[in-house]
Amino acid sequence: MAVRGSLVSSITAAEKFSSLVEREVPFLRQSVRRWHRDRANADDLVQETLVLALSSAHLWDPQSSLRGWLFTIMRNRFLSAVAAARRQTEVLKLTHQLSEPSVREEQSARIELKNLHSALDRLPAKQRLAILLVAVEGKSYEEVAESMRTTISAVRCHLSRGREKLRQLVDEPERSPIRIPGLSSARSLTVR
């Protein structure tokens, strides 16, 4: 009978606590309106508060204010949600910034590709062919040697010289004469 008596007293204590919490629901609904204009969000916060309070009933001190305890739970849940929303917004902004390259980055990449294309065009034919077959098409030295009808060591030599020349050409902007109408070719300006 002692076990049954303690079970009955704990049930009545839980029922008593539930009824005390139930009396505070109008206060919680009124208070939440300061934080949420949307009724659905306000109701969700009150419900989260009630669920957390009922599951944590053993933590409430009967000598303290139940209203204050519930309000504190609700405020902490609200502030946690606000912080999570801010973090999520920051992550979304950062993701958006990283996923879309800026116009300057795109322009820079286009300029670099144009410079590379121009530099490749200025390489001797055998060096250009060796670089394109190995670096772009991914062919082996043996395959390149067969297609160029030369030896593997010649392919390596063309690659080495071509890569070095390509580095120089890409690092040093092309010098091109600017033609000004009315000036003879001897008086053209050379610009870097």
Q: Are 77 and 49 in contact (CB under 8 A)?
A: yes
Please state the separation of Cα 18 from the chain's center in Å: 45
Please give the model's pTM, rounded to 2 decimal places: 0.46
Query: If you average pLDDT over residues 15-36, what whole number do you get?
Result: 89
Among 79-83, 95-99, 156-160, 166-170, where is mean pLDDT lowest?
A: 95-99
- Maximum average pLDDT range among 3-17, 99-113, 165-179: 99-113
When pLDDT is cut at 50, 70 and 90, the band that residue 157 belongs to is very high
Work out the average pLDDT over 77-93: 88
pLDDT (average), residues 45-59: 91
3-class DSSP state for residue 184?
Answer: coil
Tokens 């910034």 label which residue?
97
Residues carrying CATH 1.10.1740.10, the chain:
14-99
Cβ partners under 8 Å of residue 159, min gap 6: 127, 130, 131, 134
Q: Which 8-state DSSP code applies to residue 183?
A: S
Residues 6+ apart with CB under 8 A from 14: 57
Domain with CATH 1.10.10.10 in the chain: 110-191
What is the rounded distance in angstroms from the CA atom of residue 155 to the CA atom of residue 77?
A: 69
pLDDT above 60 for 190: no
pLDDT at residue 188, as a whole number: 43
d(Cα 70, Cα 60) in Å, to the nearest integer?
9
Q: What is the residue whose two structure tokens read 């091109």?
A: 176
Distances (CA, A) of 171 to 119, 164, 165, 174, 192: 10, 11, 10, 9, 12
**Spatial distance between the Cα atoms of 145 and 166, rounded to a whole number of angstroms:** 20
CATH of span 14-99: 1.10.1740.10
**CATH no. of 110-191:** 1.10.10.10
